[in-house]
Amino acid sequence: MNEPVYVIGVGRTNFNRNLKKEGKSIRDVTVEAARASLLDAGVDPGDVESGVIGNFASGMFTGQLHLGAFLVEADEKLRGIPTLHTEAACASGGVAVLTAAQQIRGGIYDVVLVVGAEQQKTMSPGDGAEILAAASDTQIERPLYGQHMFPKIFARIAQHYIDREGLSEKQLAKIVLKNYAHAQYNPNAQKNTSQMSLEQAMIASDRNPRFAPPLKVTDCSQISDGAAALVLCSERFKKGLRRELPLMRLAGFGHTTDYLALQDNPSEFPMARKAVKKAYDMAGLMPIDIDAAEVHDCFSISELIAYEVLGLAEVGQAAQLLESGATSLPIVRDRVGVNLKPSRSIPVNTGGGLIADGHPVGATGVRQVVEAFDQLNERAGQRQVAGARRIATYNMGGSVTTVVAMIWGT
């Protein structure tokens, strides 16, 4: 079967929180986001037949696993549903969404609740970095990179791209500046009230050291606590609803897994391109048909490469796409220092991305879909993309090891 899949409700928490300081845990944000999505969908929780939670490393960050049980705490009527936990490093949330969608596409269930969650502020950033390193090939790569493995891995990617295509630190800094500027219009963003200038992002300093050259601290995504949630349903269930409600359809998807260690020619990523091609082919669309995108900017270089992987820019032309102003919301182009009137507009990471909205690892792939839903239903306020009808989400885990690409439409 290929039953159509719809999102009919979403929820998320504010990512500018420290759960440990609040005396709360991953349980609390899981329940909070789940309840918000059920309320947004306006469905009886008793209609939910299955639950999926995406999470990377709760066992190491918090000492708590068996997270599916937290889903059923969102409502008494959920008690007894089957649940499962997906893990694919930073793509854990995207895999959770696809797992739920496949349960519906296969005709197994009509309504599935999805939550992505992570609590990372339980330890020092250095200790947290060691946990995140478990998403790499530690046997092979730890002797090569030592501490802070992922910044160093993506620094290698950035340097490879610079050597091949040419790229300035100013252009990397404009990615950072753009996403901070977008986050100012997202009240749930971790960096909603933080100011960023091009000089701050571009110039190394005591507060912004270049600890993985050419990348600096500002080129990195945030350490975050939070959760995001979706209610997915089948066409059969949607037809039975007696009222109009916001919704969004999954038009196409691709999911690939590459080798765990970073490969040679590290800025090309053929398996990522394969996932994107699958998504476009299933949707019957091309890159020119996309109105906006949510991409995995774990580092500034990641967003630039995503432009090319998604086909928004030709190989070697990602920086030119950025400079054209196409990937910035119109209201921030002047601040970012890009062209004010691009020939095409395709805003990327309208809520601030991982760099400024935040990156609770297991929540990110779900949060991207929440942002797409709000954009397609014209609920994004000042960051609304005018006339948006099709949005791509691109979630990846590890050094582009796992990729989940999805195309969403109205």
The number of beta carbons lying within 10 Å of the beta carbon of residue 278 is 17
Sheet with 5-12: list strands edge to edge: 83-86, 50-54, 111-119, 225-234, 5-12, 248-257, 402-409, 390-397, 292-295
pLDDT greater than 90 at residue 1: no
Q: What is the pLDDT of residue 297?
A: 98
CA distance 233 to 101: 8
Residues 6+ apart with CB under 8 A from 270: 258
Topology annotation, domain 5-123+223-240: Peroxisomal Thiolase; Chain A, domain 1 (3.40.47)
pLDDT > 90 fraction of the chain, expressed in percent and rounded? 95
pLDDT in tens, 68-78: 999 999 999 99
CA distance 73 to 77: 9
Is residue 244 exposed (0-12), middle (13-18) or buried (19+ Cβ within 10 Å)? exposed
Residue closest to 47 by CA, chosen among 114, 111, 105:
111
Which amino acid is it at 185? Y
Q: What is the pLDDT of residue 242?
A: 77
Confidence of residue 243 (pLDDT cuts 50, 70, 90): confident
- As a whole number, mean pLDDT of residues 355-364 equals 98
pLDDT in tens, 272-285: 999 999 999 999 99
Q: Concatenate the DSSP letters of all residues of 276-293 into one string.
A: HHHHHHHHT--GGG--EE
Q: What is the pLDDT of residue 263?
A: 86
Interhelix angle 300-309/149-165, rounded to 10 degrees, is: 50
Domain extents for the chain?
A: 5-123+223-240
**Secondary element (H or E) of residue 145:** helix 138-145
Q: What is the pLDDT of residue 265?
A: 79
Phi, psi dihedral angles at 42 (to 5 degrees):
70, 25
- As a whole number, mean pLDDT of residues 341-363 equals 98
The number of beta carbons lying within 10 Å of the beta carbon of residue 95 is 24
**Mode of pairing for the β-strands spanning 390-397 and 83-86:** unpaired
- As a whole number, mean pLDDT of residues 176-188 equals 98
User: Is residue 303 within 8 Å of residue 175, measured between CB atoms?
Assistant: yes
pTM: 0.98
Q: What is the pLDDT of residue 266?
A: 75
Cis bond before residue 287 (omega within 30° of 0): no
Q: What is the pLDDT of residue 147?
A: 87
Q: What is the pLDDT of residue 296?
A: 98
pLDDT greater than 90 at residue 234: yes
pLDDT in tens, 80-128: 999 999 999 999 999 999 999 999 999 999 999 999 999 999 999 999 9
CA distance 362 to 402: 13
pLDDT greater than 80 at residue 394: yes
Confidence of residue 21 (pLDDT cuts 50, 70, 90): very high
Q: Which sign does the torsion angle of CA 211, 213, 217, 220 carry?
A: negative
